[in-house]
Amino acid sequence: MKNDTIIFTSIAGFISAIFICSFFDPGFSFFLMLSIVFIGIYFYQRCFIEKEANKNKVLFISLFILFFCIGGIRYEIKNIHNINSDFENYIGQEVYLEGIVINDPEIKSNNQIFVIKTLNYLHGTSSVLLDEKILANSYSKNPVNYGDKIKINGRLSKPENFISSIDGASSTKEFDYVSYLAKDDIFYKLNNSDIKIISVGNGNIIKSILFKIKNYFVLNIKSLISEPEASLLIGIILGEKSGIDKDLQNVFRIVGLSHVVVLSGYNITIVSDAISKFFTFVPGLWGPIFGIVGVILFVVMSGASTTAIRAGIMALIVVLGKILKRDYRPGRALLVAAVIMILFNPKILVFDIGFQLSCIATFAIIYISPIFENKLSFITKKMELRSIISSTLSAQLAVLPLILYKMGIFSTLALPVNILIVPLIPIIMFLGFFIGIFGAPFNAFLIIFAWLNYLLLAYMISVSNLFSQAPFSWFYISWFSTGLLIVSYGLIFAWLFNSIRNKQ
């Protein structure tokens, strides 16, 4: 128990500092001074306190302060960014840059969106060395790929927050787009860019190969399945939702299916299980090792979103547990995954809603779903219906306050829609993988699989459209404040704590 308390105290101190620093900026000096306080408390505990109980109390306080300092210093390091005077002077003007594409471009109907790591700022016949990430939006007919070295010119601007709306409804919820991009060290945008490719293959060779496999996979699907079903399938398998029509994305938000059309933990779990089962025939530890490598490569290929990384880490812990013959505790695995991700990028704790929703929903499925499953004993277990309803209810309950606070959307029909669609997702993914991997050489033999998957995807779209158009299918709530968010989660955790205590 003492070890668990030490771990919990340390993590609580680390995360508390990062949470506070997301809203205030105490600065390095504050945390350096606080570390001196920790040293004083630690030596006081070691030299002047004799009772073991009192020693433990002071130990926990000093540990909290120590990891509070570590968390604060980690955030301050992440937050260091020197404003580039060259860029600041040319905001709103056309600039000429040279850089390398560092992500897999998001291709839409008439434009492409990608991130470049700048190398040079071209000014007349001279150039200035730069090291800056820029989000570029180009209507150029020259498609770019990861690792391309390009010359690019366009109008330089800074990101701005915006207010989104659904189905024409007025909204007062502002999306903090500036902080969302800043978490990845992106502080500038380049609009209406013209592109000239200088060279290719300047990126990481493994990522380049994985993105080529992904593009081959996507082309195979599009060669056998028509739109919008093809883009929906790509979104379900790879988390690539840029090809999905904006109206259809709004429909999925209304009916509570957004978690299906991005690469969520549920999708990664299906992939992880499939990889593990595929390598069961391999003797010794090679099967689990191939499973680990497969999960890592799939997460990278899909673009390594925060939801995919979180689910991937948890999947890896499952495989490692089998190798080490240790019991898998999903709650601890979630905590480990979250801490690793926050340590790597502390800004995701507050400024990445995908990370927040993913962790909260997973927490609910681990701890709240079993409570609902016991209460819903009158529902049959056939086809895992009770498990699906319990998981859906628990996840929807847990993420609802955050969704209301961030987006203001309250979906009244999320439960029936999820019950009608979620059981089909493993079948859709299995058929989709089969088509994506073997499509081009075996198109004639895969027509039946493609048609079956098309029918399932068309059913998914039809059900979502039907429910989204039902009267009172959703409400927009603008008055859900920070206070209500805190109270809501306080009540949820109080109910959960009481339910677990009564069960014990």
pLDDT at residue 440, as a whole number: 65
Helix or strand holding residue 222 (H, E): helix 205-224
pTM of the model: 0.86
Cα 67 from chain centroid (whole Å): 25
Burial of 81 (0-12, 13-18, 19+ CB in 10 A): exposed
Helix or strand holding residue 188 (H, E): strand 186-199
pLDDT at residue 331, as a whole number: 87
Report the SS3 class of residue 473. Answer: coil
**Cα(369)–Cα(356) distance, integer angstroms:** 18
- The pair of three-digit structure tokens given for residue 415, joined into one six-digit string: 């439960």
User: Where in 68-185 does DSSP place strands (E)?
Assistant: 94-101, 106-107, 112-123, 126-129, 133-138, 149-157, 162-163, 174-175
Alpha helices, H only, 329-440:
330-344, 348-351, 353-367, 369-375, 385-406, 414-421, 425-438
Contact criterion met (CB below 8 Å) for 392 and 423: no
Burial of 196 (0-12, 13-18, 19+ CB in 10 A): exposed
Return the C-alpha torsion angle 453, 457, 462, 468, nearest 10. Answer: 160
User: For the chain, what is the largest distance between any 2 Cα atoms, rounded to a whole number of angstroms?
Assistant: 81
pLDDT at residue 1, as a whole number: 46
pLDDT mean by block of 10 residues, the chain; 504 residues: 77 93 88 84 72 73 90 90 70 87 83 87 62 85 87 88 67 80 90 85 89 88 88 85 80 82 65 70 72 81 81 81 78 90 93 88 89 85 80 86 86 86 85 82 77 94 91 83 91 90 74
Write phi, then psi, for 191 (nearest 5 degrees): -105, 150
Contact criterion met (CB below 8 Å) for 17 and 34: no
Give CA separation, 219 vs 111, 188, 225, 226, 437, in Å. Answer: 18, 32, 10, 11, 10
Contact criterion met (CB below 8 Å) for 202 and 149: yes
Helix or strand holding residue 211 (H, E): helix 205-224
Return the C-alpha torsion angle 256, 257, 262, 263, nearest 10. Answer: 100
Find all residues with CB under 8 Å of 120, minimum gap 6, and list them.
97, 98, 99, 127, 128, 129, 130
The residue to which tokens 């007349």 are assigned: 124
Count H helices, E strands: the chain? 20, 11
pLDDT at residue 127, as a whole number: 61
| Residue type (1 letter), 312 | G
Find all residues with CB under 8 Å of 473, minimum gap 6, and list them.
254, 255, 411, 412, 413, 467
Report the 10 Å Cβ neighbour count for 407: 19
Contact criterion met (CB below 8 Å) for 135 and 189: yes
